[in-house]
Amino acid sequence: MHTQLRRWVALGVVLLAAQALAWPHVNRIIASPVYHRWVYLSAGWHSFNTTALSAGADPIVRVWGPLYSGSTYIGDGELGHDDDSGGGTDAYLWVYLPFANWVQVIVHAEHGGVGGTGNLVQDGTTVLATGATFSGNRLGAGGAYGATTTYETALAPGGPADTVLYGMACDGTMLRWDDNSGVGLAARIASTASICYVILSSGTQPAGFAFVYLNDWGTDTDGDGLGRALENELGTCDGNSLAYCSMVFNTKDSDRDGLSDTAEICGVDDPSFPQHLPRWGANPRHKDVFVEIDYTTDFTSQPFTGADAATAQALFNTGSAADLDNPDGLPGVKLHLDIGVATAAGGDVTLYGNWGGSGQSSDPSYPSAADSQRAVVRRGLFRYALAGLGDGGGQGWMPGDRLGWGVRTWERYVASFAHELGHNLNLGHEGHHTWGSMNCKPTYRSLMNYAFLGGQFSLGANTTAVNPASSYEASGTGGDASYLAGNPFFLTATPTQVDWNRDQLINTWVRSPLTWATWVGCDAMTANYQNLLDGPFYGATPDLVKLNDRLYAFYTGADERIRYRQGVVSGRDWRGSCPGGSTVGATCMTWGPEVTVPTAANARGVSALQFGSGVMLSFRTAINSIRVLHSTTVDASGNLTGWSPDTWMGSNTTQEPELSLMYVDPARFGVSQVAALFASEAGQHRWYTATALGGAWTAQGQVLRTDGTAVSGNIAPGVVHWPNRGAGVSHASIGTACGAFPEGVNNDIGFYCYDKPSHRFTRVNALRAGTQVNRKPTLAYHTFRNDSGLPLNGDTVRGQFWMVTVGGNAPTVWISDPLDASRPPATSTDFRSWGAVGNAWTNLMPGAGMSIYEDLDLAAMKGLWAFDKGGGQAYFQFFPLFDGTPWATLRDGNDFRVMERGICRGIKDDAYCGSSGRWGY
């Protein structure tokens, strides 16, 4: 409220119900209206008196105006005051003005807590007020404080939006008064010299609580403007001398939430937008997080509700006071959300409300909207959140002060909001990086973890560290692990044991994909990826093949030439066959330069196979013919040499071909294994075989089911031999080949295995809905392994099929149930979808599929894709641990212990927040 000439205002006052002999420095008291009016008086004597008082009313009348020494104006002051001169408790006051001027007439109650109403009459005839409120009482008693002490107010939750202070001398004379020198409409009397008590008014506002402080700022030692006696009463810190402040890094911020004690006690002033943090619930002894929530033009009004605010708050309530280092000893992080919607009746006015900042954002991007839509004064005080149209996905700076997430009018995905806010508070998907930097850790039960997005923040209940490269299945998680039997892990688990590698046995030390989770994009398979090339590529599926100790990555360039890069891989070892190591962040292997394969025709997709002593390639040309060639030698650098000419092998297709090894009947082929080429020709799957590297190709006709019907499909299959060869073992006697065949006009995946006696293919599974593809699927057979990289229990057969499909632009992984020599994939092989290879933002380059590869001489499966980065550009990326088995110590942890300092770091720098706290974060 701003006092202006020619305007009258009603002001209010309230005092402590019981007066004290000395002023307390910290007060939360009721402020109520008092009469305060501007009146123009002519020169001479004037009278003011009260009449018609309500029962118990005892008003004091004061007149404040210009003071003169002779005819010289010397400033404003009290012209006079009266209590009971009108008879009984009525006041009657005479004042004299040597010159006509404006004065202020103030009427307040004399006794504590005893207010009332009445009339105010000027000069015996002019009725200035009828039934006006004369409330209030003095606050404080005893001697005056000095010039280095102030009286200050702060607006309290649910209280009046305005306060006024009147400062009185010990003889009852009003010496000073203030309306708006505090934060916004709060009051501040800068000097308490000669003032014995003050009167607090609510201005024109209804009665309600307000904060009043006696600030002995002259004793301030830490530079925050708050005096030592005031901070002692508040329980905040003025330096480190007190025991409870001895470990506080920045005593200007006693609770280390990034909000200074001064801001939390008084607020932050601004000419156009004062920040009334105490009115909105700030507590200098408790972790507070303020967030302004805006919404995009997808919505006409705020979708986030008060009920959503309560749901979010519940997620932050579970942290203990000790974990959060809350000086007040109370649990939880207190949220304060400006959503632009008034608090509902009976609601928590400190949790959410319309605090002047929230609204519709014209900028749909949360990082830039935080700067363009959030008021400058709020930077370093409020975090910024932008709700846009979506289904819960979002992003947030870590640590930081801004986030965005997708909502619907019928679903605001509050857990997603809390997740992104958690990033602002320095939590990653793994919690803290020292707990093991992998998403979807099965023991980290936190809503920060993609596997548990709808849950709570973690309190660190699981005590056992787990390692994908070396998992001890008999020890479980250190807590009750039975929750892992459900969504999204579907593991066989008891309270003390977990079948981490999903082989349906409890083993000792195994390699296991701990961070696989259904439907969730966990980046479990992309650990330690390497960018092999950056540029445009032809939109076709790349391929991986191993020859001796080298791995080759083949692909088709944008100029339709076949190229590869190659590098040395180690054997079956704990490093996952990575010479450079498999710890998270390690570079698996060194790749040689890009090499072009000599071909006479351009290529639009390539498939590779190690066969005999060399490498065989098949590719589709620009005129849709299928051509083949092979290399028979390798130079000292590992590059393939001795390439044959590329020749047409009698087949045409509009799709990519597929090369695979097949175990076959020697009686039919004269050998136990052949190279097989599969292609979709005019909507029919057809296949060809060769018995030697460089040998002639024999057409085998259509791919036929065991009932004699043809398998039709418009996209080539992904085919792999079963079981894996390598380690001097071929498995030809029991082996076969299986493929994922796109079928029919919709290209639904059917899983087929070759039947040697009938020379046909047995359909062992038609996959569930959601396996329609628009690109060639790929397959690999994964052998269960121990933590040394060797086949588990010496069994080179036992394992699972892995399949990658693409329907749209994102690849999905499917994994079969366990197979072994006693249970071959001959009759039924069930698959489960394990969700996206990467995460929610993963897309492959248009037209490109994904390659996966494993043999017995590798300790971990490998993957290869062309990741779409937009604008026709792509990254050619290699995944050395595609089976999700990096060497990593993965722990559970307490999220709130990370938040303890992370809350501060999101809005302030380390110089302000200090180093890690008691928890080391």
Residue 583 pairs with which residues in a beta bridge? 887
Q: What residue type is 769 in one-letter code?
A: A
Structural tokens at position 550: 């080298």
State the Cα–Cα distance between residues 755 and 579, nearest whole angstrom.
Answer: 39
Instruction: Give 752's contacts (C-beta < 8 A, 6+ positions apart).
Output: 703, 705, 711, 717, 738, 739, 741, 761, 762, 763, 764
Cα separation values, 892 from 471, 495, 786, Å: 15, 16, 24
Could you write out the DSSP letters of every residue in 518-562? TT----TT-TT-EEEEEE-B-SS--EEEEETTEEEEEEEBTTS-E
State the Cα–Cα distance between residues 501 and 513, nearest whole angstrom.
Answer: 6
State the Cα–Cα distance between residues 778 and 719, nearest whole angstrom.
Answer: 7
State the Cα–Cα distance between residues 397 and 369, nearest whole angstrom.
Answer: 13
Question: In the block, which residue shows the tokens 């439907």?
Answer: 519
Residue 41 pairs with which residues in a beta bridge? 101
State the Cα–Cα distance between residues 760 and 710, nearest whole angstrom.
Answer: 10
Q: Which of 151, 191, 143, 145 is nearest to 170 (CA)?
A: 143
Q: What single-letter DSSP state applies at residue 321?
A: H
State the Cα–Cα distance between residues 371 and 656, nearest whole angstrom.
Answer: 49
Predicted pLDDT of residue 523: 85
Pairing state between β 164-168 and 174-178: antiparallel
Residue 555 pairs with which residues in a beta bridge? 563
Residue 781 pairs with which residues in a beta bridge? 801
Q: Which of 308, 311, 296, 424 is nearest to 363 (CA)?
A: 296
Q: Are 179 and 3 in contact (CB under 8 A)?
A: yes
Could you write out the DSSP letters of every residue in 623-651? TSEEEEEEE-EE-TTS-EE-PPPPEEEEE
pLDDT per 10-residue tile (average), the chain, 921 residues: 28 30 75 92 96 92 95 94 93 95 94 82 93 81 77 95 93 93 95 89 90 93 94 94 91 96 97 97 98 97 97 97 96 98 95 97 96 97 97 94 96 96 97 94 95 92 94 88 89 89 92 85 89 89 96 96 97 95 95 96 96 97 96 97 94 94 97 97 96 96 96 95 94 95 91 96 75 92 96 96 92 92 87 82 89 97 92 88 95 97 96 90 94
Q: Which of 368, 426, 377 is nearest to 397 (CA)?
A: 426
Structural tokens at position 64: 């404040």
Predicted pLDDT of residue 453: 86
Digit-coded pLDDT (tens) for 259-278: 999 999 999 999 999 999 99
Angle of CA points 798, 802, 804, to nearest 5°? 175
State the Cα–Cα distance between residues 70 and 431, nearest whole angstrom.
Answer: 76
Q: Are 839 and 821 in contact (CB under 8 A)?
A: no
Longest Cα–Cα distance of the chain, Å, equals: 132
State the Cα–Cα distance between residues 81 and 110, nearest whole angstrom.
Answer: 12
Cα separation values, 155 from 13, 201, 275, 595, Å: 14, 12, 10, 72
Structural tokens at position 868: 């779409």
In terms of phi and psi (left: phi > 0; alpha: psi -120 to 50; beta: otherwise), the region of 184 is left
Chain center to CA of 788: 36
Structural tokens at position 737: 């080949």
Predicted pLDDT of residue 2: 31
State the Cα–Cα distance between residues 176 and 165, nearest whole angstrom.
Answer: 8
Q: Are 749 and 741 in contact (CB under 8 A)?
A: yes
Chain center to CA of 749: 36
Structural tokens at position 827: 């009759």
In terms of phi and psi (left: phi > 0; alpha: psi -120 to 50; beta: otherwise), the region of 576 is left
Structural tokens at position 614: 């060399």
Mean pLDDT (the chain) is: 92
State the Cα–Cα distance between residues 693 and 612, nearest whole angstrom.
Answer: 6
Structural tokens at position 68: 């003169």
Instruction: Give 738's contacts (C-beta < 8 A, 6+ positions apart).
Output: 719, 720, 722, 751, 752, 753, 754, 764, 779, 801, 825, 829
State the Cα–Cα distance between residues 115 and 14, nearest whole angstrom.
Answer: 9
Q: Are 874 and 865 in contact (CB under 8 A)?
A: no
Could you write out the DSSP letters of every residue in 192-205? -BT--EEEEE-TTS
Residue 709: phi, psi to the nearest 5? Answer: -80, 150
State the Cα–Cα distance between residues 751 and 743, nearest whole angstrom.
Answer: 10
